[in-house]
Amino acid sequence: MMADRKVLVVDDEIHIVHVVAIKLRNNGYEVVTADNGAQAFELACSEKPDILVTDLQMPVMTGLELVEKLRDNEVTKDIPVIMLTARNFAVSDEQQQQLRLSGCLSKPFSPKELLSTIEDILYQTELAGKS
């Protein structure tokens, strides 16, 4: 099995972070959490996660603003990001491409669905890294 993967989970809804963190830890991931974009950005720079899962609607800094900052930063620019969106807040395809989002899941999502999305993306990232 590959070395522990580190996932940064960002959401201002604590219960979502909690459920996701448990699911990921039970599947061998190391989990770092934040409840707002500003905190998440600092953690992304210091922890250098393998992948980041962020909510779109958050106080202090939205998910989109967070990803923009990540992409502008040398240390974090290539971290794959999965965006969690509320039903009626879609991220346009244009925004997805611009911000190089690896995936979008709309709430409510199942932790299992998120886990498989993370695994797919990390697998693709690994393949790309080897080519």
Task: Please provide the average confidence, as pLDDT, over all residues in the chain.
Answer: 93
What pLDDT, in 10s, does the model give residues 66-81? 999 999 999 999 999 9
Domains of the chain from N-terminus onward? 7-130 (3.40.50.2300)
Q: Where are the alpha helices (DSSP H) in the chain?
A: 14-26, 37-47, 63-72, 93-98, 111-130
Predicted local confidence at residue 111, as pLDDT: 94
What pLDDT, in 10s, does the model give residues 75-102? 999 999 999 998 777 788 999 999 999 9
Where does residue 75 rank: exposed (0-12), middle (13-18), buried (19+ CB within 10 A)? exposed
Predicted local confidence at residue 67, as pLDDT: 97
Predicted local confidence at residue 1, as pLDDT: 44
Predicted local confidence at residue 89, as pLDDT: 74
What pLDDT, in 10s, does the model give residues 15-50? 999 999 999 999 999 999 999 999 999 999 999 999
Band of pLDDT at residue 131, cut at 50, 70 and 90? low
Band of pLDDT at residue 117, cut at 50, 70 and 90? very high
Predicted local confidence at residue 79, as pLDDT: 97
